[in-house]
């Protein structure tokens, strides 16, 4: 049985409506105008005996969160073995028959854990040419079934544990820079409230026409994200009104600020809009999203605040409603004072 989602069959009408041969440039996607050199931070300096070197590293992290909202880290503490195992298991996962992946009890996970495309897309700009498994840490621990399933679960748990340790280091630094007590995160972000997402971007026959996203433009709904990506490339971020391509670094992980940290920091840290462009090559990535429990309240740490106080549950519900009503997430703009 074929493992590929039926993108072309499902979205043939959208492709025809777009009139590929006569598409005007202003209907094409907003894509990169050049490469950007993200801040590259060597986290081994945090354990240096040289106090100035440690302080420089801490300042680099805070500055990157403020100026870019994105940065890359090396010597991050997640072993090559864990990352390579994750990519191997990920490929096995997405190589399973499509009819099996869309079953409601796939891997003993909640329904809608496996996702592909965008069933609500009304134009190609709303379509993500990708498939994903998006689950909470709790759901990952509940996975059961075949030996392959158990291997995947164990690998995901190892990645989640290592990513969690990395996040705690970064969040403690960023909180300290704001003057926010780290106990806020300890109290509101239990280990099982975070999420894992594994992405596969199939080769796209329309990539050269610049009409289809691999993943539509968005910001992350969390405090902090840790992303492991292969070397194909495709991740882009919006800075100063222009899209820039993030060059993959085989030794680095990508870190980015999420909406909740922007709100908590009163806009000091930036949750930056980013996207993945579709290419003719298969691409994989995996992400760990550091989230609070649903009842946790997020409020600007300084006054006057930019955003009103809200719960994580309320924020997710508003995002879901916007996607259903208008086809995309609006995010923090809904919570401006």
Catalytic machinery residues = 283
CA distances from 197 to 28, 57, 95, 159, 302 (A): 28, 28, 16, 11, 32
C-alpha to C-alpha distance for 214 and 102, rounded to whole angstroms: 20
What are the respective helix, strand and coil percentages of the chain, to the nearest 5?
40, 20, 35
Helices (H), 102-191: 137-142, 147-178, 183-188
Q: How far is residue 169's CA from residue 42's CA, in Å, rounded to a whole number?
A: 13
Q: How far apart are CA 1 and CA 68, in angstroms?
A: 44
Long-range contacts of 243-250 (CB under 8 A, 24+ apart): 243/30, 243/31, 243/32, 243/33, 243/275, 244/32, 244/33, 244/34, 244/35, 244/36, 245/32, 245/34, 245/35, 245/36, 246/36, 246/38, 246/70, 247/35, 247/36, 247/37, 249/40, 249/72, 249/74
Residue pair 273/237 in contact (Cβ under 8 Å)? The answer is yes
Residue matched to tokens 């006054």: 303
- Integer Cα distance of 237 and 22 in angstroms: 28
């Amino acid at each position: 049985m074929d493992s590929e989602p039926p993108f072309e069959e499902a979205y043939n009408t959208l492709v025809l409506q777009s009139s590929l041969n006569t598409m005007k440039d202003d209907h094409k996607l907003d894509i990169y105008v050049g490469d950007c050199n993200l801040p590259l931070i060597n986290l081994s300096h945090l354990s240096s005996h040289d106090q100035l070197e440690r302080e420089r590293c801490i300042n680099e992290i805070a500055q990157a969160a403020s100026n870019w909202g994105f940065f890359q880290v090396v010597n991050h503490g997640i072993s090559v073995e864990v990352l390579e195992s994750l990519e191997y298991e990920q490929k096995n996962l997405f190589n399973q028959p499509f009819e099996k992946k869309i079953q409601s009890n796939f891997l003993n996970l909640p329904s809608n854990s496996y996702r592909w495309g965008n069933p609500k897309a009304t134009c190609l700009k709303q379509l993500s040419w990708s498939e994903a498994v998006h689950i909470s840490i709790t759901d990952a621990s509940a996975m059961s079934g075949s030996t392959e399933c158990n291997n995947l679960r164990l690998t995901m748990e190892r990645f989640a544990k290592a990513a969690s340790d990395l996040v705690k280091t970064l969040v403690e630094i960023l909180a300290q820079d704001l003057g926010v007590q780290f106990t806020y995160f300890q109290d509101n972000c239990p280990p099982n409230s975070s999420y894992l997402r594994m992405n596969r971007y199939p080769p796209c026959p329309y990539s050269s026409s610049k009409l289809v996203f691999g993943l539509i433009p968005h910001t992350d709904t969390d405090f902090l994200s840790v992303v492991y990506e292969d070397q194909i490339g495709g991740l882009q971020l919006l800075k100063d009104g222009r899209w820039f391509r993030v060059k993959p670094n085989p030794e680095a992980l990508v870190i980015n600020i999420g909406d909740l940290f922007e709100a908590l920091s009163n806009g000091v840290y930036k949750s930056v809009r980013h996207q993945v462009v579709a290419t003719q090559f298969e691409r994989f990535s995996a992400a760990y999203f550091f989230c609070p429990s649903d009842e946790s309240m997020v409020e600007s740490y300084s006054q006057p605040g930019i955003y009103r106080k809200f719960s994580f549950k309320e924020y997710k519900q508003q995002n879901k409603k916007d996607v259903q009503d208008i086809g995309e997430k609006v995010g923090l703009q809904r919570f401006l004072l």
